[in-house]
Amino acid sequence: MRSVTMTLAAATAAAAVLALSACSSSSGGGSTSGGSGNTASCEDALVKELEGAGTSGATPSAARPAECAGIDALTFAKLTAEAAQTALKKVASEFPTALPTDLSSDLPTALPTDIPTALPSWTATG
């Protein structure tokens, strides 16, 4: 469970880093020229990077993947958020969805019979 939490935290942190780096790495106040990059391949690259970081425990690179060249900062930020959601959904799908059914059946079914039924009596001396 701890490793899943770490994976979720890494994926969320990576998404934030990638989104912030998109705004700071583009020229001209937050957008690149044209915005004509292939968004599908960019999102796939971002998902692969987040999943790789989640399984290895490493921090993903803050650099923009090569597949995202030519995509403006706003679109890149949206793609980063979508990639993080996709990566988190894949991780969440690995969670168990039902209670275990293979529990031990050798548990006691009745109370012990040697339990005292009354308090001990005592007298005060004085």
pLDDT in tens, 59-70: 777 788 889 989
pLDDT the model gives residue 18: 58
pLDDT the model gives residue 32: 40
pLDDT at position 84 over 70:
yes
Percentage above 70 pLDDT, the chain: 66
Q: Phi, psi (5° rounding) for residue 93?
A: -70, -15
pLDDT the model gives residue 17: 59
Do the beta carbons of residue 49 and residue 65 sit within 8 Å?
yes
Confidence of residue 2 (pLDDT cuts 50, 70, 90): low
Domain boundaries, the chain: 2-92
Comparing CA positions, the residue from 26, 5, 17 lying closest to residue 60 is 17
Q: Which region among 30-44, 85-99, 112-126 has the lowest average model confidence (pLDDT)?
A: 30-44
Spell out the residues 6+ positions from residue 31 whose beta carbon is closer than 8 angstroms to its own: 72, 73, 74
Average model confidence (pLDDT) for the chain?
74
For the chain, the maximum distance between any two Cα atoms, rounded to a whole number of angstroms, is 100
Do the beta carbons of residue 80 and residue 46 sit within 8 Å?
yes
